[in-house]
Structure 1
Amino acid sequence: MTESQAGDTPVSRAREAELALADPAYREAVVDLLGVLSYGEISAFERLAEDAKLAPTLEDKVAIAQMAAGELGRVERLHGRLRELGADPFVAMAPFGAAIDQFHEHTAPSDWYEGLVKAFVGDGLADDFYREIAAYLDAGTRELVLSSLEEGPHAAFVVDRVRAAIARDHRLGGRLALWGRRLMGEALIQAQSVAAEREALSALLAGGVDRPGLDLAALGRMFARLTERHTERMSELGLDA
Protein backbone atom coordinates (compact mmCIF):
# COMPACT_ATOMS: atom_id res chain seq x y z
CA MET A 1 0.00 0.00 0.00
CA THR A 2 1.18 3.49 -0.66
CA GLU A 3 1.56 6.07 2.06
CA SER A 4 -1.59 8.08 2.75
CA GLN A 5 -1.56 11.50 1.18
CA ALA A 6 -2.09 14.67 3.15
CA GLY A 7 -5.57 15.14 1.70
CA ASP A 8 -6.85 11.77 2.87
CA THR A 9 -10.03 11.78 4.89
CA PRO A 10 -11.41 9.19 7.34
CA VAL A 11 -13.87 8.16 4.61
CA SER A 12 -11.15 7.60 2.02
CA ARG A 13 -9.06 5.69 4.52
CA ALA A 14 -12.00 3.49 5.43
CA ARG A 15 -12.59 2.84 1.73
CA GLU A 16 -8.90 2.00 1.26
CA ALA A 17 -9.08 -0.51 4.11
CA GLU A 18 -12.33 -1.98 2.78
CA LEU A 19 -10.83 -2.55 -0.66
CA ALA A 20 -7.60 -3.99 0.75
CA LEU A 21 -9.32 -6.35 3.16
CA ALA A 22 -11.55 -7.65 0.38
CA ASP A 23 -8.42 -9.52 -0.75
CA PRO A 24 -8.36 -12.74 1.34
CA ALA A 25 -4.56 -13.00 1.15
CA TYR A 26 -4.13 -9.43 2.42
CA ARG A 27 -6.64 -9.96 5.22
CA GLU A 28 -4.80 -13.13 6.26
CA ALA A 29 -1.53 -11.19 6.35
CA VAL A 30 -3.08 -8.50 8.55
CA VAL A 31 -4.47 -11.12 10.93
CA ASP A 32 -1.04 -12.76 11.09
CA LEU A 33 0.70 -9.47 11.79
CA LEU A 34 -1.73 -8.43 14.52
CA GLY A 35 -1.46 -11.94 15.96
CA VAL A 36 2.33 -11.91 16.18
CA LEU A 37 2.31 -8.40 17.63
CA SER A 38 -0.22 -9.45 20.28
CA TYR A 39 1.77 -12.49 21.29
CA GLY A 40 4.94 -10.43 21.33
CA GLU A 41 3.38 -7.88 23.69
CA ILE A 42 2.15 -10.60 26.06
CA SER A 43 5.52 -12.34 25.96
CA ALA A 44 7.32 -9.06 26.67
CA PHE A 45 5.01 -8.46 29.63
CA GLU A 46 5.82 -11.87 31.08
CA ARG A 47 9.55 -11.44 30.58
CA LEU A 48 9.67 -7.93 32.07
CA ALA A 49 7.64 -9.08 35.06
CA GLU A 50 10.20 -11.84 35.57
CA ASP A 51 13.10 -9.38 35.14
CA ALA A 52 11.65 -7.22 37.90
CA LYS A 53 12.85 -9.89 40.34
CA LEU A 54 16.43 -8.99 39.38
CA ALA A 55 15.98 -5.28 40.14
CA PRO A 56 18.54 -4.01 42.67
CA THR A 57 16.23 -1.38 44.17
CA LEU A 58 12.52 -0.93 44.75
CA GLU A 59 12.55 2.06 42.41
CA ASP A 60 13.97 -0.11 39.65
CA LYS A 61 11.42 -2.83 40.36
CA VAL A 62 8.54 -0.38 40.00
CA ALA A 63 9.97 1.06 36.77
CA ILE A 64 10.21 -2.38 35.18
CA ALA A 65 6.71 -3.26 36.40
CA GLN A 66 5.41 -0.11 34.71
CA MET A 67 7.17 -1.10 31.48
CA ALA A 68 5.51 -4.51 31.70
CA ALA A 69 2.10 -2.94 32.25
CA GLY A 70 2.63 -0.77 29.18
CA GLU A 71 3.25 -3.85 27.02
CA LEU A 72 0.08 -5.52 28.22
CA GLY A 73 -1.94 -2.34 27.80
CA ARG A 74 -1.46 -2.42 24.02
CA VAL A 75 -2.89 -5.89 23.58
CA GLU A 76 -6.57 -4.99 23.87
CA ARG A 77 -6.47 -2.61 20.88
CA LEU A 78 -4.81 -5.27 18.74
CA HIS A 79 -7.34 -7.85 19.87
CA GLY A 80 -10.18 -5.44 19.20
CA ARG A 81 -9.02 -5.00 15.61
CA LEU A 82 -8.71 -8.77 15.18
CA ARG A 83 -12.29 -9.20 16.34
CA GLU A 84 -13.42 -6.52 13.89
CA LEU A 85 -11.83 -8.63 11.16
CA GLY A 86 -13.79 -11.66 12.36
CA ALA A 87 -10.72 -13.39 13.78
CA ASP A 88 -10.26 -15.03 17.16
CA PRO A 89 -7.30 -13.22 18.77
CA PHE A 90 -6.07 -16.35 20.52
CA VAL A 91 -6.20 -18.42 17.35
CA ALA A 92 -4.35 -15.61 15.55
CA MET A 93 -1.59 -15.57 18.19
CA ALA A 94 -1.10 -19.33 18.42
CA PRO A 95 1.18 -19.89 15.36
CA PHE A 96 3.81 -17.49 16.70
CA GLY A 97 4.29 -18.88 20.17
CA ALA A 98 7.11 -21.28 19.30
CA ALA A 99 9.32 -18.75 17.47
CA ILE A 100 8.91 -15.99 20.07
CA ASP A 101 9.28 -18.34 23.03
CA GLN A 102 12.42 -19.78 21.47
CA PHE A 103 13.89 -16.29 21.11
CA HIS A 104 13.32 -15.62 24.79
CA GLU A 105 14.72 -19.02 25.78
CA HIS A 106 17.88 -18.34 23.78
CA THR A 107 18.27 -14.83 25.21
CA ALA A 108 17.40 -15.28 28.87
CA PRO A 109 19.36 -12.56 30.73
CA SER A 110 21.81 -13.69 33.39
CA ASP A 111 21.55 -10.47 35.39
CA TRP A 112 19.77 -7.14 35.75
CA TYR A 113 21.82 -5.28 33.14
CA GLU A 114 21.46 -7.93 30.46
CA GLY A 115 17.71 -7.73 31.07
CA LEU A 116 17.74 -3.97 30.58
CA VAL A 117 19.73 -4.22 27.34
CA LYS A 118 17.38 -6.90 26.06
CA ALA A 119 14.34 -4.75 26.85
CA PHE A 120 15.85 -1.84 24.92
CA VAL A 121 17.79 -3.50 22.10
CA GLY A 122 16.17 -6.91 21.59
CA ASP A 123 12.59 -5.69 21.68
CA GLY A 124 13.58 -2.66 19.61
CA LEU A 125 14.92 -4.86 16.82
CA ALA A 126 11.70 -6.85 16.64
CA ASP A 127 9.66 -3.64 16.63
CA ASP A 128 11.77 -2.21 13.81
CA PHE A 129 11.07 -5.31 11.72
CA TYR A 130 7.32 -4.93 12.21
CA ARG A 131 7.55 -1.23 11.34
CA GLU A 132 9.08 -2.26 8.02
CA ILE A 133 6.16 -4.60 7.36
CA ALA A 134 3.70 -1.85 8.35
CA ALA A 135 4.76 0.15 5.28
CA TYR A 136 2.80 -2.36 3.17
CA LEU A 137 -0.48 -1.96 5.06
CA ASP A 138 -3.53 0.22 4.53
CA ALA A 139 -3.38 3.51 6.42
CA GLY A 140 -5.72 2.58 9.27
CA THR A 141 -4.02 -0.75 10.02
CA ARG A 142 -0.60 0.84 9.67
CA GLU A 143 -1.43 3.50 12.26
CA LEU A 144 -2.66 0.85 14.71
CA VAL A 145 0.51 -1.21 14.25
CA LEU A 146 2.82 1.78 14.60
CA SER A 147 1.03 3.02 17.71
CA SER A 148 1.50 -0.40 19.31
CA LEU A 149 5.24 -0.14 18.67
CA GLU A 150 5.82 3.31 20.15
CA GLU A 151 8.59 3.44 22.73
CA GLY A 152 7.32 4.47 26.13
CA PRO A 153 8.89 7.03 28.45
CA HIS A 154 10.70 4.26 30.31
CA ALA A 155 13.27 3.91 27.53
CA ALA A 156 15.12 6.81 29.15
CA PHE A 157 15.18 4.86 32.41
CA VAL A 158 16.96 1.95 30.72
CA VAL A 159 19.53 4.23 29.06
CA ASP A 160 20.24 6.01 32.34
CA ARG A 161 20.72 2.80 34.32
CA VAL A 162 22.98 1.12 31.75
CA ARG A 163 25.16 4.18 31.16
CA ALA A 164 25.57 4.75 34.88
CA ALA A 165 26.59 1.13 35.42
CA ILE A 166 29.16 1.26 32.61
CA ALA A 167 30.65 4.43 34.07
CA ARG A 168 31.19 2.56 37.34
CA ASP A 169 32.57 -0.59 35.71
CA HIS A 170 34.01 -0.37 32.19
CA ARG A 171 34.35 -4.14 31.99
CA LEU A 172 30.56 -4.35 32.11
CA GLY A 173 30.41 -2.34 28.88
CA GLY A 174 32.42 -4.98 27.00
CA ARG A 175 30.20 -7.79 28.24
CA LEU A 176 27.01 -5.95 27.40
CA ALA A 177 28.32 -5.06 23.93
CA LEU A 178 28.79 -8.78 23.23
CA TRP A 179 25.32 -9.42 24.62
CA GLY A 180 23.86 -6.79 22.29
CA ARG A 181 25.47 -8.48 19.27
CA ARG A 182 23.98 -11.79 20.32
CA LEU A 183 20.56 -10.20 20.64
CA MET A 184 20.94 -8.80 17.13
CA GLY A 185 21.63 -12.23 15.67
CA GLU A 186 18.83 -13.95 17.55
CA ALA A 187 16.30 -11.22 16.71
CA LEU A 188 17.08 -11.41 12.98
CA ILE A 189 16.71 -15.19 13.08
CA GLN A 190 13.34 -14.79 14.78
CA ALA A 191 12.15 -12.18 12.27
CA GLN A 192 13.21 -14.29 9.30
CA SER A 193 11.57 -17.35 10.84
CA VAL A 194 8.26 -15.57 11.36
CA ALA A 195 8.21 -14.19 7.81
CA ALA A 196 9.29 -17.46 6.21
CA GLU A 197 6.86 -19.69 8.09
CA ARG A 198 3.78 -17.57 7.41
CA GLU A 199 2.98 -17.50 3.70
CA ALA A 200 0.63 -14.53 4.04
CA LEU A 201 3.34 -12.33 5.57
CA SER A 202 5.85 -13.43 2.94
CA ALA A 203 3.34 -12.59 0.22
CA LEU A 204 2.74 -9.17 1.77
CA LEU A 205 6.45 -8.38 1.55
CA ALA A 206 6.64 -9.81 -1.97
CA GLY A 207 3.98 -7.36 -3.18
CA GLY A 208 1.22 -7.83 -5.71
CA VAL A 209 -0.28 -6.43 -8.87
CA ASP A 210 -1.52 -3.32 -7.05
CA ARG A 211 1.47 -2.58 -4.84
CA PRO A 212 5.25 -2.87 -4.94
CA GLY A 213 7.08 -5.51 -3.01
CA LEU A 214 10.60 -6.18 -1.85
CA ASP A 215 13.04 -7.53 -4.41
CA LEU A 216 16.42 -8.83 -3.24
CA ALA A 217 17.99 -5.36 -3.36
CA ALA A 218 15.13 -3.83 -1.37
CA LEU A 219 15.28 -6.70 1.14
CA GLY A 220 18.98 -6.01 1.58
CA ARG A 221 18.27 -2.33 2.22
CA MET A 222 15.63 -3.26 4.77
CA PHE A 223 18.07 -5.37 6.77
CA ALA A 224 20.67 -2.62 6.45
CA ARG A 225 18.17 -0.22 8.06
CA LEU A 226 17.53 -2.71 10.85
CA THR A 227 21.26 -3.01 11.47
CA GLU A 228 21.70 0.77 11.42
CA ARG A 229 18.94 1.31 13.96
CA HIS A 230 20.44 -1.41 16.17
CA THR A 231 23.76 0.43 16.07
CA GLU A 232 22.00 3.64 17.09
CA ARG A 233 20.33 1.96 20.05
CA MET A 234 23.61 0.45 21.21
CA SER A 235 25.21 3.89 20.97
CA GLU A 236 22.41 5.37 23.08
CA LEU A 237 23.35 2.84 25.76
CA GLY A 238 27.02 3.74 25.48
CA LEU A 239 27.88 0.39 23.87
CA ASP A 240 29.70 -0.60 20.70
CA ALA A 241 27.51 -2.47 18.21
Structure 2
Amino acid sequence: MVNWKFWRRRPPARILRLRSRGDLGDATRVAFEELAPDATTFLGQAAYLQLGYFETLSRLIRATPDLDEKEALSLAAGAALVKHRAIVDVIRERGEVPSEIMRPFQAQLDEFRWATIGARPRETMLSVHITAGMLDDFYRTLAAEYGDTGRKVARILNVDSDRELIVDLIRATIEADDEMRSLLSMWARRLVGDTLLVARAALRPQRLGVDDEKKVEPVFTALMAAHARRMDALGLSS
Protein backbone atom coordinates (compact mmCIF):
# COMPACT_ATOMS: atom_id res chain seq x y z
CA MET A 1 0.00 0.00 0.00
CA VAL A 2 1.43 3.38 -0.92
CA ASN A 3 2.58 5.72 1.83
CA TRP A 4 0.82 8.99 0.92
CA LYS A 5 3.79 11.08 2.05
CA PHE A 6 6.74 8.98 1.06
CA TRP A 7 6.93 6.56 -1.86
CA ARG A 8 9.67 5.54 -4.22
CA ARG A 9 9.62 4.08 -7.69
CA ARG A 10 11.77 1.11 -8.58
CA PRO A 11 13.36 1.08 -12.01
CA PRO A 12 11.98 -1.35 -14.59
CA ALA A 13 13.65 -4.75 -14.79
CA ARG A 14 13.03 -7.85 -16.83
CA ILE A 15 12.58 -9.86 -13.64
CA LEU A 16 8.90 -9.22 -13.02
CA ARG A 17 8.71 -7.62 -9.60
CA LEU A 18 6.21 -5.12 -8.30
CA ARG A 19 7.39 -1.65 -7.40
CA SER A 20 7.46 -0.80 -3.73
CA ARG A 21 5.30 1.18 -3.20
CA GLY A 22 -17.52 -2.09 -12.71
CA ASP A 23 -19.93 -0.49 -11.17
CA LEU A 24 -21.89 -0.85 -7.90
CA GLY A 25 -24.79 -2.66 -9.48
CA ASP A 26 -27.62 -3.02 -6.97
CA ALA A 27 -25.58 -1.94 -3.95
CA THR A 28 -27.51 -0.55 -1.01
CA ARG A 29 -27.72 3.23 -1.25
CA VAL A 30 -26.16 4.84 1.81
CA ALA A 31 -27.00 8.32 3.04
CA PHE A 32 -23.57 9.78 3.81
CA GLU A 33 -25.19 12.76 5.53
CA GLU A 34 -22.48 14.70 7.37
CA LEU A 35 -19.77 12.34 6.08
CA ALA A 36 -20.01 13.57 2.50
CA PRO A 37 -17.75 16.47 1.45
CA ASP A 38 -19.28 19.73 0.34
CA ALA A 39 -20.40 19.96 -3.29
CA THR A 40 -17.39 22.04 -4.34
CA THR A 41 -14.98 19.43 -3.00
CA PHE A 42 -16.95 16.63 -4.63
CA LEU A 43 -16.91 18.35 -8.02
CA GLY A 44 -13.25 19.33 -7.84
CA GLN A 45 -12.12 15.82 -7.01
CA ALA A 46 -14.38 14.14 -9.56
CA ALA A 47 -13.26 16.49 -12.34
CA TYR A 48 -9.56 16.19 -11.59
CA LEU A 49 -9.67 12.40 -11.37
CA GLN A 50 -11.01 12.21 -14.93
CA LEU A 51 -8.30 14.60 -16.12
CA GLY A 52 -5.72 12.38 -14.45
CA TYR A 53 -7.01 9.26 -16.23
CA PHE A 54 -6.77 11.16 -19.52
CA GLU A 55 -3.19 12.21 -18.84
CA THR A 56 -2.05 8.72 -17.84
CA LEU A 57 -3.62 7.12 -20.91
CA SER A 58 -2.20 9.83 -23.17
CA ARG A 59 1.30 9.09 -21.89
CA LEU A 60 0.79 5.44 -22.74
CA ILE A 61 -0.32 6.37 -26.27
CA ARG A 62 2.91 8.28 -26.83
CA ALA A 63 5.00 5.45 -25.39
CA THR A 64 3.67 2.60 -27.54
CA PRO A 65 4.49 2.10 -31.23
CA ASP A 66 1.72 -0.48 -31.69
CA LEU A 67 -1.26 0.95 -33.59
CA ASP A 68 -3.81 -1.43 -32.05
CA GLU A 69 -2.69 -0.38 -28.58
CA LYS A 70 -2.77 3.30 -29.55
CA GLU A 71 -6.37 2.85 -30.73
CA ALA A 72 -7.43 1.09 -27.52
CA LEU A 73 -5.79 3.72 -25.35
CA SER A 74 -7.11 6.64 -27.39
CA LEU A 75 -10.71 5.48 -26.98
CA ALA A 76 -10.37 5.27 -23.20
CA ALA A 77 -8.47 8.57 -23.03
CA GLY A 78 -11.14 10.29 -25.10
CA ALA A 79 -13.92 8.99 -22.85
CA ALA A 80 -12.10 10.27 -19.75
CA LEU A 81 -11.63 13.69 -21.33
CA VAL A 82 -15.31 13.88 -22.28
CA LYS A 83 -16.28 13.13 -18.68
CA HIS A 84 -13.81 15.68 -17.36
CA ARG A 85 -15.18 18.40 -19.62
CA ALA A 86 -18.76 17.52 -18.73
CA ILE A 87 -18.04 17.83 -15.00
CA VAL A 88 -16.21 21.10 -15.67
CA ASP A 89 -19.39 22.34 -17.37
CA VAL A 90 -21.36 21.49 -14.22
CA ILE A 91 -18.85 23.49 -12.17
CA ARG A 92 -19.21 26.49 -14.49
CA GLU A 93 -23.00 26.26 -14.31
CA ARG A 94 -22.66 26.81 -10.57
CA GLY A 95 -20.71 30.02 -11.21
CA GLU A 96 -17.41 28.56 -10.04
CA VAL A 97 -14.00 28.50 -11.75
CA PRO A 98 -12.97 24.90 -12.57
CA SER A 99 -9.22 25.39 -12.11
CA GLU A 100 -9.76 26.94 -8.67
CA ILE A 101 -12.10 24.12 -7.65
CA MET A 102 -9.66 21.39 -8.76
CA ARG A 103 -6.39 22.96 -7.57
CA PRO A 104 -6.66 21.97 -3.85
CA PHE A 105 -6.73 18.30 -4.86
CA GLN A 106 -4.12 18.37 -7.61
CA ALA A 107 -1.07 17.42 -5.53
CA GLN A 108 -2.79 14.63 -3.59
CA LEU A 109 -4.43 13.04 -6.62
CA ASP A 110 -1.28 13.39 -8.73
CA GLU A 111 0.63 11.58 -5.99
CA PHE A 112 -1.92 8.77 -6.07
CA ARG A 113 -1.82 8.60 -9.85
CA TRP A 114 1.96 8.49 -10.06
CA ALA A 115 2.11 5.89 -7.29
CA THR A 116 -0.18 3.62 -9.32
CA ILE A 117 1.72 3.90 -12.60
CA GLY A 118 3.41 0.57 -13.23
CA ALA A 119 6.88 -0.27 -14.46
CA ARG A 120 5.33 -1.80 -17.59
CA PRO A 121 2.46 -0.58 -19.82
CA ARG A 122 0.14 -3.46 -18.92
CA GLU A 123 0.44 -2.61 -15.23
CA THR A 124 -0.53 1.00 -15.95
CA MET A 125 -3.44 -0.08 -18.15
CA LEU A 126 -4.63 -2.29 -15.32
CA SER A 127 -4.18 0.61 -12.88
CA VAL A 128 -6.50 2.83 -14.87
CA HIS A 129 -9.07 0.07 -15.31
CA ILE A 130 -9.12 -0.82 -11.60
CA THR A 131 -8.75 2.60 -9.97
CA ALA A 132 -11.06 4.44 -12.38
CA GLY A 133 -13.66 1.71 -12.05
CA MET A 134 -13.63 1.80 -8.25
CA LEU A 135 -13.55 5.59 -7.94
CA ASP A 136 -16.22 6.18 -10.56
CA ASP A 137 -18.41 3.77 -8.57
CA PHE A 138 -17.63 5.63 -5.36
CA TYR A 139 -18.33 9.11 -6.76
CA ARG A 140 -21.59 7.88 -8.30
CA THR A 141 -22.63 6.83 -4.81
CA LEU A 142 -21.57 10.16 -3.30
CA ALA A 143 -23.51 11.98 -6.03
CA ALA A 144 -26.80 11.10 -4.33
CA GLU A 145 -25.98 13.72 -1.67
CA TYR A 146 -25.92 16.72 -4.03
CA GLY A 147 -29.39 17.01 -5.50
CA ASP A 148 -29.59 18.07 -9.14
CA THR A 149 -25.83 18.69 -9.30
CA GLY A 150 -25.20 15.15 -8.12
CA ARG A 151 -27.68 13.72 -10.61
CA LYS A 152 -25.84 15.48 -13.44
CA VAL A 153 -22.49 14.08 -12.31
CA ALA A 154 -23.94 10.59 -11.88
CA ARG A 155 -25.21 10.68 -15.46
CA ILE A 156 -21.76 11.77 -16.64
CA LEU A 157 -20.03 8.97 -14.74
CA ASN A 158 -22.53 6.44 -16.10
CA VAL A 159 -21.35 7.08 -19.67
CA ASP A 160 -19.31 4.23 -21.15
CA SER A 161 -15.60 4.59 -20.32
CA ASP A 162 -14.53 2.78 -23.53
CA ARG A 163 -11.99 0.58 -21.78
CA GLU A 164 -13.13 -2.66 -23.43
CA LEU A 165 -10.17 -2.79 -25.83
CA ILE A 166 -7.76 -2.16 -22.97
CA VAL A 167 -9.35 -5.06 -21.12
CA ASP A 168 -8.84 -7.22 -24.22
CA LEU A 169 -5.14 -6.30 -24.30
CA ILE A 170 -4.69 -7.13 -20.61
CA ARG A 171 -6.60 -10.39 -20.97
CA ALA A 172 -4.50 -11.45 -23.96
CA THR A 173 -1.31 -10.80 -22.00
CA ILE A 174 -2.61 -12.80 -19.04
CA GLU A 175 -3.54 -15.74 -21.24
CA ALA A 176 -0.17 -15.75 -23.00
CA ASP A 177 2.21 -15.15 -20.08
CA ASP A 178 1.86 -16.90 -16.72
CA GLU A 179 4.53 -14.71 -15.17
CA MET A 180 2.63 -11.58 -16.14
CA ARG A 181 -0.60 -13.13 -14.87
CA SER A 182 0.95 -13.51 -11.43
CA LEU A 183 2.44 -10.03 -11.50
CA LEU A 184 -0.78 -8.33 -12.59
CA SER A 185 -2.81 -10.20 -10.00
CA MET A 186 -0.49 -8.96 -7.23
CA TRP A 187 -0.43 -5.48 -8.72
CA ALA A 188 -4.23 -5.29 -8.76
CA ARG A 189 -4.44 -6.32 -5.11
CA ARG A 190 -2.01 -3.56 -4.21
CA LEU A 191 -4.02 -1.01 -6.17
CA VAL A 192 -7.14 -1.74 -4.12
CA GLY A 193 -5.65 -0.49 -0.88
CA ASP A 194 -4.38 2.72 -2.44
CA THR A 195 -7.72 3.37 -4.14
CA LEU A 196 -9.72 2.82 -0.97
CA LEU A 197 -7.47 5.38 0.74
CA VAL A 198 -8.46 7.94 -1.89
CA ALA A 199 -12.13 7.16 -1.36
CA ARG A 200 -11.86 7.44 2.41
CA ALA A 201 -9.89 10.68 2.14
CA ALA A 202 -12.77 12.18 0.14
CA LEU A 203 -15.09 11.90 3.14
CA ARG A 204 -15.45 14.90 5.43
CA PRO A 205 -14.08 13.54 8.78
CA GLN A 206 -10.33 13.00 9.00
CA ARG A 207 -10.99 9.87 11.04
CA LEU A 208 -14.14 7.77 10.88
CA GLY A 209 -15.66 6.71 14.17
CA VAL A 210 -17.27 3.33 14.79
CA ASP A 211 -20.74 4.58 13.84
CA ASP A 212 -19.39 6.28 10.73
CA GLU A 213 -17.60 3.10 9.68
CA LYS A 214 -20.91 1.24 9.91
CA LYS A 215 -22.58 3.83 7.67
CA VAL A 216 -20.04 3.51 4.88
CA GLU A 217 -19.30 -0.21 5.22
CA PRO A 218 -22.00 -1.25 2.67
CA VAL A 219 -20.50 1.10 0.07
CA PHE A 220 -16.96 -0.21 0.49
CA THR A 221 -18.28 -3.77 0.50
CA ALA A 222 -20.03 -3.05 -2.80
CA LEU A 223 -16.87 -1.44 -4.22
CA MET A 224 -14.95 -4.61 -3.44
CA ALA A 225 -17.65 -6.80 -4.97
CA ALA A 226 -17.56 -4.77 -8.19
CA HIS A 227 -13.77 -4.98 -8.16
CA ALA A 228 -13.96 -8.76 -7.85
CA ARG A 229 -16.24 -8.88 -10.88
CA ARG A 230 -13.75 -6.82 -12.91
CA MET A 231 -10.95 -9.13 -11.87
CA ASP A 232 -12.98 -12.21 -12.80
CA ALA A 233 -13.70 -10.71 -16.22
CA LEU A 234 -9.96 -10.33 -16.74
CA GLY A 235 -9.25 -13.89 -15.67
CA LEU A 236 -7.46 -12.76 -12.49
CA SER A 237 -8.17 -13.58 -8.87
CA SER A 238 -9.04 -10.73 -6.53
TM-score range, shorter chain: 0.7 to 0.9
Counterpart secondary structure, 1:190 = helix
Residues matched between the structures, number:
204
Taking the TM superposition and a 5 Å limit, the aligned residue runs for 1:195-234 are 195-196=203-204, 215-234=212-231
Equivalent positions of 1:109-120 (< 5 A) are 109-120=118-129
Q: Which stretches in structure 2 are left out of the alignment for 5+ residues? A: 1-33
Q: Is the 8 A contact 2:72 2:163 kept in 1?
A: no
Alignment of 1:169-184 (within 5 A): 169-184=177-192
The secondary structure found in structure 2 opposite 1:109 is: coil
Q: Percent identity?
A: 29
TM-score by length of 2: 0.77
Amino acid in the other structure paired with 2:96: A
Q: Which runs of 5+ in 1 are unaligned?
A: 1-24, 207-213
Q: CA RMSD in A?
A: 2.7
Question: Whose radius of gyration is greater, 1 or 2?
Answer: 1
Does residue 83 (structure 1) correspond to residue 92 (structure 2)? The answer is yes
Give yes or no for contact 1:48–1:64 (8 Å, CA) kept in 2. Answer: yes
Return the alpha-carbon distance in structure 2 between the equivalents of residues 98 and 64 of structure 1: 25
8 Å CA contact 2:41–2:101 kept in 1: the answer is yes
Q: How far apart, CA to CA, are the structure 2 residues paired with 1:38 and 1:130? A: 11
In 1, Cα distance between equivalents of 2:75 and 2:164 = 13
Once the two structures are superposed, residues 73-98 of structure 1 have per-residue CA deviations (whole angstroms, 9 ceiling, x without a partner) of 22332222212212111111111112
Residue of structure 1 equivalent to 2:43: 34
Distance 1:99 1:156, change over 3 A: same
* TM-aligned CA deviation for residue 229 of structure 1: 1.0
Question: Among 48, 60, 77, which residue is 2:69 paired with?
Answer: 60
The equivalent of 1:240 in structure 2 is: 237
Higher alpha-carbon deviation: 227-236 or 47-56: 47-56
SS of residue in 2 equivalent to 1:110: coil
For residue 115 of structure 2, what is the amino acid of its counterpart? H
SS of 1:87's equivalent in the other structure is coil
Which letter maps to 1:159?
V
State the AA in 1 paired with 2:92.
R
What per-residue deviation string (whole Å, max 9, x for no partner) do you get for residues 112-137 of structure 1?
A: 21122112111111111111211223
Could you say which structure has the greater relative contact order, defined with CA pairs below 8 angstroms and 6 or more residues apart?
A: 2
Relative to structure 1, the CA distance from residue 55 to residue 152 in structure 2 (aligned partners, 3 Å threshold; closer, same or farther) is farther
